[in-house]
Amino acid sequence: MLLVALFDTLFRAYNWILVARFLLTWLPNVDYYHPVVRFLHKATDPLVRLFRGIIPPYGQIDLSPIILFLVLRLVYPLLRGLLIQLVLMF
């Protein structure tokens, strides 16, 4: 069950990183070269890019992290259930 706890922790951390990235879109004059901002973008860009084409940015607000957040919240119980079953098999 340590593997499931690690999965839960990583999922929660990724969700917070995604929320932080979304909140950055609301702030004017963000320094996109700041190491923290660069980390947020590097950590989330691969998955956010998948959803960017669904809803284009509204002004300077990018809504694709919200879509990703919702999709992850829907898929998380399924992945967690599969992981629990795999752990119980071994």
Provide Rg for the chain, Cα atoms. 15
Question: Which domain range does residue 53 map to?
Answer: 2-89
Model confidence over 23-81: pLDDT tens digits?
888 888 889 999 999 999 999 999 998 888 787 777 777 788 888 999 999 999 999 99
- Which segments of 1-90 are extended strands (E)? none
What is the reported pLDDT for 65? Answer: 84
- CA gap 15, 69 in Å, rounded: 7
Q: Give 28's DSSP letter.
A: T
What is the reported pLDDT for 59? Answer: 79
User: Is 58 within 8 Å of 25 (Cβ atoms)?
Assistant: no
Number of domains in the chain: 1
Query: For residue 88, how far is the Cα from the chain centroid?
Result: 27
